[in-house]
Structure 1
């Protein structure tokens, strides 16, 4: 196991550090203390070629805006909050509106724009980085001082584990996720249309025209949201389903998971032989097929385009603050928020 860290640049005299984690099999992950952003995950294909299977900007300055949220930790609340407000304990809180009138992914300065405190660690069978940040009362409109810790760990089973931990001195909404875009073809040499996605989910959330859950919880049976047996993404993207059309001809939808830490999310690219298995204790995963990728900055050496990557955002249900029948995303004062998502990389030689 190996840990290397190097300074890439500075922001307001604060160093931006890249941490590179390498296991004994040559799998490698690079992440930054800025936004906990993941810039590289190098894994082999079926022929033993190690390539990057996540999207990353070519120039660090692009992360200062990072409109697609490439590779970053998202918080305090992942997803959209309708009308940028919520009521809690009889008080109405107004959040920063950064997408029309709505609040998206933590606001203007969400966790993806934070320079986190970071410390690497190395053990016999794992290597990692522990990030920490104190989100102050009133930040982006949220109540409470929240101490947040995010730990990235790479082990010798070619598993990458993200552990989230937080505690607040006031009740506050909180659900964290990671917004990495995966492309298992390697170095983004193909888009994700031939990737196959399988999810153990019987129900999904339809969206309104602003991509916010309507409140309905719908059965996936007989729809393009039935991924229990797996679907090639091109089949979804080529469809005329109104929900698929609504978000730019793809997915940007929450799927409620039937099971946890049970190979509940599987992404496969048969040509490269790479398979990604995602396991989590979160209630849902938001699947986003890169339908709205902006094309201003180059990504992985090429101009970005639709369907260049897919996000698998494990989290609470979006806009849960407005839907009492959704599982609550409120972190009570003094209670501990704890969540783990594991990304296991496997090979198929079909």
Structure 2
């Protein structure tokens, strides 16, 4: 095993590089583990630029891994449709019919979600091997991952140079910075698909965990989970998380949107329009677990966030340590531009032109009550 260490702030922060496993062709998959002085530890693997584990102390100092994932590469390869912890690209969320038109030309992305393209097609960024190097600043340690997506990959135009940098500081902030450039006009919507359970991954469902979303509007969907183009207020709907509300309070309500997200029992899988308007210093969302006292705060430059409550987890997946991931066993907070934006003229644009850089920053901050 190859180990290297970088230190900052007089060893309060450290990073470690090791081998996570191998792809079927023998290519190594590396792991980078970031640690701070408060017991927070994040591990990132080069397969999918994936957040593989995230250890966070509770109010009593007990550390638990709070993200879903697998102990080996094969787990990720054999369960590729759940996207545990992965970097999503080129286009996060859904594209209706897998199509979009750019400068009069229509492009086709492979369909992998019934009639839609989801998360960049069936071999998106989550299934690519990224290059990586350790980074450090005066107050953080990190890992920068890079991937070059060739022109035409998964049906998208332009050669895309992509960087994703994870960094951890002693404020218990895990920051993800994204940067991309293209040599042809294209569309782009990057995000991270970590599934959180603040009581610990595999500990049960998240229905008693309490969320606040600073979002007065959302993008409702049709029965194919494609936005209708409307931006109604959340007031008076189960999508109202403006005040702290347990996930389970309205998840089973008899509301058509919840049935679209999970036809049998209901669930959340929608994009909320953030009131923070791209200001990364403003709190976009907060989720807390009353039992453990863990609290997650979300900050982002993105205009939207997809809250998904693990509606299609059914207990069949065994993750790290053999733990079972049950129905509603986690939630995601996927910071993003709105779903299907290239086909929705009233939504913020996801177009990226040569000479311009795509950038976004998302911060997950951890506290205890």
* TM interval, short-chain normalised: over 0.9
Aligned partners of 2:155 and 2:332: how far apart in 1?
A: 27
- 1:202 corresponds in structure 2 to 216
SS of residue matched to 1:112: helix
Q: How does 1:160-239 map to 2 (within 5 A)?
A: 160-239=174-253
The superposition leaves residues 266-314 of structure 1 with CA deviations (integer Å, 9 ceiling, x where unpaired) of 0111110000000001000011000012544302422322111100000
Aligned partners of 2:242 and 2:317: how far apart in 1?
A: 36
Instruction: Give the conservation status (yes or no) of the 8 Å contact 2:20–2:72.
Output: no
Residues 1:34 and 2:47 are matched in the alignment: yes
Following superposition, the deviation at residue 2 of structure 1 comes to 1.2
The superposition leaves residues 25-59 of structure 1 with CA deviations (integer Å, 9 ceiling, x where unpaired) of 22100110110111111111011101111111244
**Structure 1 runs not aligned, ≥5 long:** none
Aligned partners of 2:201 and 2:334: how far apart in 1?
A: 21
Following superposition, the deviation at residue 214 of structure 1 comes to 1.4
- 2:147 corresponds in structure 1 to 133
Q: How does 1:290-329 map to 2 (within 5 A)?
A: 290-293=310-313, 295-300=315-320, 301-329=322-350
Q: Give the one of 98, 103, 106 matched to 1:89.
A: 103
Instruction: Give the conservation status (yes or no) of the 8 Å contact 1:203–1:220.
Output: yes
Following superposition, the deviation at residue 158 of structure 1 comes to 0.5
Following superposition, the deviation at residue 60 of structure 1 comes to 2.6
SS of residue matched to 2:235: coil
Q: How does 1:99-110 map to 2 (within 5 A)?
A: 99-110=113-124
Instruction: Give the conservation status (yes or no) of the 8 Å contact 2:21–2:72.
Output: no
SS of residue matched to 2:151: coil
- 2:70 corresponds in structure 1 to 57
Residues 1:4 and 2:21 are matched in the alignment: no
Following superposition, the deviation at residue 109 of structure 1 comes to 1.1
Residues 1:257 and 2:277 are matched in the alignment: no
Instruction: Give the conservation status (yes or no) of the 8 Å contact 2:142–2:165.
Output: yes
Instruction: Give the conservation status (yes or no) of the 8 Å contact 2:216–2:235.
Output: yes
Q: Give the one of 251, 254, 257 matched to 1:240.
A: 254
Following superposition, the deviation at residue 224 of structure 1 comes to 1.2
Following superposition, the deviation at residue 129 of structure 1 comes to 0.3
TM-score (norm 2): 0.92
- 2:8 corresponds in structure 1 to none
Residues 1:74 and 2:95 are matched in the alignment: no
TM-score (norm 1): 0.97
SS of residue matched to 1:182: coil
SS of residue matched to 1:335: coil
- Matched residues, number: 348
The superposition leaves residues 10-33 of structure 1 with CA deviations (integer Å, 9 ceiling, x where unpaired) of 222321011111112221001101
SS of residue matched to 2:75: helix
Q: Give the one of 37, 44, 47 matched to 2:60.
A: 47
Q: Quick check: 205-214 or 141-150, which moved more? A: 205-214
